[in-house]
């Protein structure tokens, strides 16, 4: 096998591996072997047996193992960050360093999220997406508009999400079951909370970097992840919303290379 450091990039919702299109060539240019799959059930992949993050992490680990990758640098964004945490908790001896982007591991804190926050920026979709069949019913025929709402409302550099970009995401999410699959990532949250409670009994031992967008979650990923790991560093990306890898790819790659080079 080629003697390169292997980086595994895991995207979030409502994105696909296309989210890493700016980051992948920059990391490859630095000599890394970069693997950026679609999460199971999203993009152009088949449906998994379950959408809980413990199961998703096992599926991705099996894929990496089959390809002979036993020593990786792991980066996750949004739901990809939750999957990455589960991956690291289950297969920590194979993860050299872990990066969580703008989302901390799912935990009890979600149960305490206010329904009517003072800033009117509550995560309403966390509850809405868990409702059985209703999201599918209401977004049917409006999938592109629904996806676009997230891209434009959770980003700071909104120009990144031009028509071509939104069309590519819509291409995959408009396929059969894909919108439901996206919602299904939320429908296992209670299971994820229980699984992460068990994982949290043992601190992650690999170095962890928690990155937030200045106009995204900022320091929140760092603050919530800190009690779960033995060695953590935090970083905030300026002029950036939630979609760090698309809004500030150059800044992000510099942070990753610096962290992976230690």
Q: What is the pLDDT of residues 142-188, one digit of tens each?
A: 999 999 999 999 999 999 999 999 999 999 999 999 999 999 999 99
User: Does the bond joining 14 to the residue before it have cis omega, within 30 degrees of 0?
Assistant: yes
Q: What does the pLDDT average to over 226-231?
A: 98
Domains and CATH numbers, the chain: 6-260 (3.40.50.1820)
Q: What is the pLDDT of residues 195-222, one digit of tens each?
A: 999 999 999 999 999 999 999 999 999 9
CB neighbourhood size of 244 (10 A): 26
Encoded tokens for 113: 């999220």
- Given a contact cutoff of 8 angstroms between Cβ atoms, the answer to whether 217 and 209 are in contact is no
pLDDT at 25 over 70: yes
- Given a contact cutoff of 8 angstroms between Cβ atoms, the answer to whether 106 and 120 are in contact is no
| Span of 110-114, 176-180, 190-194 with lowest mean pLDDT | 110-114
Helices (H), the chain: 23-29, 53-66, 79-90, 124-128, 134-139, 143-153, 163-173, 178-187, 189-199, 220-225, 244-247, 249-260
Residues 6+ apart with CB under 8 A from 75: 7, 8, 9, 10, 84, 98, 99, 101, 256
pLDDT at 1: 45
Is residue 8 helix, strand or coil?
A: strand
The average confidence (pLDDT) of the chain is 96
């Amino acid at each position: 096998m080629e003697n390169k450091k292997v980086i595994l990039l895991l995207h979030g919702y409502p994105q696909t591996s296309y989210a890493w299109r700016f980051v992948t060539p920059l990391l490859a240019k630095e000599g890394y072997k970069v693997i950026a799959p679609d999460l199971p059930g999203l993009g152009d992949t088949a449906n998994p047996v379950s959408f809980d993050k413990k199961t998703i992490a096992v599926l991705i680990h099996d894929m990496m193992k089959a390809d002979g990758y036993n020593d990786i640098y792991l980066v996750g964004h949004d739901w990809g960050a939750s999957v990455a945490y589960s991956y690291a908790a289950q297969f920590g001896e194979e993860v050299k360093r872990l990066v969580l982007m703008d989302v901390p591991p799912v935990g009890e804190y979600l149960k305490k999220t206010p329904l009517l926050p003072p800033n009117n920026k509550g995560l309403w979709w966390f509850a809405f997406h868990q409702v059985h069949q209703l999201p599918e019913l209401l977004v049917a025929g409006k999938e592109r508009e629904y996806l676009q709402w997230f891209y434009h409302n959770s980003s700071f550099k909104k120009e990144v999400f031009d028509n071509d970009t939104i069309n590519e995401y819509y291409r995959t999410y408009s396929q059969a079951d894909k919108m439901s699959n996206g919602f299904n990532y939320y429908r296992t949250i209670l299971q994820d909370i229980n699984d992460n409670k068990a994982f949290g009994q043992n601190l992650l031992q690999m170095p962890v970097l928690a990155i937030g967008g200045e106009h995204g979650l900022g320091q929140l990923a760092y603050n919530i992840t800190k009690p779960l790991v033995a060695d953590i560093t935090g970083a905030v990306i300026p002029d950036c919303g939630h979609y760090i890898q698309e809004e500030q790819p150059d800044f992000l790659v510099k942070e990753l290379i610096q962290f992976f080079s230690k």
